[in-house]
A and B are shown apart, each in its own frame.
Chain A
Amino acid sequence: MYQPVIKKSYLTEIKLTLTPAVGTRIFFLDVPELSQREHAVMVTGIECFNSTYLTQTPNGNTTVSTVAGLVLTIAEASTESVIQYPCTDLQPGLNGGFIRTFDKKKINLSKCYVTILDTASLSVNQAVLFNFLYE
């Protein structure tokens, strides 16, 4: 089974700053390493982690215990190219350890977001971790 060869990776987080509510969209903050305008970064894989992978985020927030109620939307320029992708499918442990690969997406991180479909087990000030694999 194909597995990506990782050239670079960057761990990002989305913080649930408000009490989680169904339908809420939470956008990524800008990360300079993933949004270099002149040399567009190409994302080759995305992983999503819950607290079993990392109990706290690098910013000190508690990681969510489950990503079952979350979906991810990826934007390239101003076009959404991956829409409401289940975060559970991006968590390797739920996926036989495999990493989901993408065909070199030039993502526009500040227009990418997570949508809450189910608030169960989610609390305010928790965070969801995404590991972007890119080159």
Chain B
Amino acid sequence: MKLLQEEYEQLVSLPLTSQRTGGVPLQFGQKAYFDNISLNRGKRITSIAFIGLYNGDYNGLLPAGDMASRITLTLIQQNNDILLWRYPLADLLDFTADSSIADTRGKKRLFDLQDVSFKKSYITNTNSTVLSTGLVLLFNFFTQD
């Protein structure tokens, strides 16, 4: 009999530090790598949710829907295979209070992603409006062993 595996949940933040952005705001097409982020438990990513953004002063979450439609997520495997190529963050945003903003309408996006290299994975600014240094992107990664 196959038992249900335990799913772990981990909040992952991607701060757009000057080290990541080269000290300048992220222009259209530029990337910010996850770098040293590692998942504490679980080897297989089973779901990803984009939660939103903080500004550098931690004055609360910025309008996630508005920002999510400007950013994509690319996840690369250890062996350099592309797992997710420019996945729009709006399709990882499970809920927004504004019904005119794109989200997954509460549906959890399910994945089966193994051997993800966060050193090779990144977000891309896909809008002509720059992403300021100091912004912090928040994700929720769900994993299993």
B residues lining the A interface (CB < 8 Å): 28-29, 46, 69-70, 72, 82-88, 90-91, 100-113, 124, 126-128
Contact = CB atoms under 8 A, between A and B. Distances in A.
A55 B100 CA distance: 14
Interface of A: 3-11, 33, 47, 49, 51-58, 60, 92-93, 96-98, 129, 131
B93 to A, nearest CB: 10
Contacts of A5: 46, 110-112
Given A53-B102, A56-B127, A33 B69 contact: no
A52 B102 contact: yes
B124 A58 contact: yes
A92 B107 CA distance: 10
Nearest to A31: B85
B84 A97 contact: no
B98 to A, nearest CB: 10
Contacts of A92: 91, 104-105, 107
Contacts of B110: 3-6
